[in-house]
Amino acid sequence: MSDNVLVYRGESIAAYGFGDPHPFGTDRHDVFHAELDKAGLGDVIEYGHPRPALVDELALFHTADYIDKVSRMSAAGHGWLDEGDTPAVPGIYDAASSVVGAVLCAVDEVMHGHHKRAFIPIAGLHHAARASAAGFCVFNDCGIAVEYLRKQFGIQRIAYVDIDAHHGDGVFYGFEDDPDLLFADLHEDGRFLYPGTGAAEETGTGRARGTKLNIPLAPGADDSDFHQAWKKVEAYLHAVRPQFIIMQCGADSLEGDPITHLSWSEEAHAHAAASLCRLADEYCEGRIIATGGGGYNRRNLARAWTRVVQSFADSQ
């Protein structure tokens, strides 16, 4: 077991993006890694290199028809994968598949006991549904990781914790009736922001009714609002006792994001990551991975994601 934090980097995941003037540009990976280099964490980080996901791995969460559609539209290189948020740019299939592959590599490394903590920038594409793209997200790496943990490693009770400004609807509705997918999501109130879902009353359906935690926050909510809400996330996770934690730490919840309206600082991300590491140590044999998620102000995403990696390193 290495005490180093495993951080993924590579051109294949950097390529995930939609070009100017789309807010999800392909520069986000390099902006983050430049900031991480500056932070001088060289002796507590190890770099991991992505691989493409197999079709069978994508099919753990997505429908075969949808995977085919992405493949065909990526080759054609024009049109939209959804209703107008997610363009079918050339090569998007390979980039999206590499993002998934990086997350599955991280899961393997953590489950094999080589590392306790891993961070994958660009991943955390939480809007993609089982049969469709949505909100800049092609393949839902987090949803696939849940299914992969169950199939490959027999891990059932997985906590998905999302602090991106947007509700993680692809994960929530993908497991809405599954009581073993433990779900906690802080986000800007859906009455003011895409995708419009994630009301506090949405706690799961069927056997899962009452098992999931959605906490919508008013536009302008700041660090003190974050801290108040975070106490509820901690209490929830202590109650549900997960075996593995997947964090989605979108940086679009920081003040100054061009497409959202929350006003946190990167201290929120540092606090959430440190708290989740303590919970992972208590219930999950230390096992946690974090995915970068959204974040369209470059300075914010570089700082927030770097603080998450720093918290992971400090928590070893």
- Which sequence positions are flagged as catalytic? 127
Stretch that binds Zn ion, among 50-58, 171-179, 194-202, 289-297 (CB under 5 A): 289-297
Give the amino acid at 216. Answer: P
Nearest-approach distance from CB 187 to Zn ion, in angstroms: 8
Exactly one of 87, 121, 250, 292 binds Zn ion (CB under 5 A); that residue is: 250
Query: In this complex, which beta carbon is closest to Zn ion, that of residue 35 or of residue 169?
Result: 169
- Written as six digits, the tokens of 186 are 């802080």
Q: Which residue is nearest to Zn ion (CB)?
A: 294
Distance, in Å, from the CA atom of 305 to the CA atom of 293, rounded to the nearest integer, reads 9
Query: In this complex, which beta carbon is closest to Zn ion, that of residue 163 or of residue 208?
Result: 163
Nearest-approach distance from CB 278 to Zn ion, in angstroms: 25
DSSP 257: -
Q: Which residues, 6 or more positions from 147, have their beta carbon under 8 angstroms from its beta carbon?
A: 60, 61
Distance, in Å, from the CA atom of 236 to the CA atom of 101, rounded to the nearest integer, reads 30
Alpha carbon 175 to its chain centroid, in Å, reads 15
252: contact with Zn ion by CB under 5 A = yes
Nearest-approach distance from CB 77 to Zn ion, in angstroms: 25
269: contact with Zn ion by CB under 5 A = no
Distance, in Å, from the CA atom of 311 to the CA atom of 316, rounded to the nearest integer, reads 9
Nearest-approach distance from CB 269 to Zn ion, in angstroms: 13
Distance, in Å, from the CA atom of 183 to the CA atom of 199, rounded to the nearest integer, reads 13
Number of residues in contact with Zn ion, rule: CB under 5 A?
6
Exactly one of 292, 294, 297, 302 binds Zn ion (CB under 5 A); that residue is: 294
- Go through the chain and tell me how many residues it has: 316
Give, as ranges, the residues between 133 and 172 that touch Zn ion (CB under 5 A): 164-166
Which helix (H) or strand (E) segment holds residue 48: the answer is strand 45-48
Stretch that binds Zn ion, among 138-146, 155-163, 224-232, 293-301 (CB under 5 A): 293-301
Nearest-approach distance from CB 143 to Zn ion, in angstroms: 16
Distance, in Å, from the CA atom of 26 to the CA atom of 17, rounded to the nearest integer, reads 5
Q: Which residues, 6 or more positions from 221, have their beta carbon under 8 angstroms from its beta carbon?
A: 188, 262, 263, 264
Query: In this complex, which beta carbon is closest to Zn ion, that of residue 190 or of residue 294?
Result: 294
Residue with the two structure tokens 């939480």: 126
Query: In this complex, which beta carbon is closest to Zn ion, that of residue 198 or of residue 294?
Result: 294
Query: In this complex, which beta carbon is closest to Zn ion, that of residue 148 or of residue 160?
Result: 160
The residues of the shown chain that bind Zn ion, judged by CB under 5 A, are 164-166, 250, 252, 294
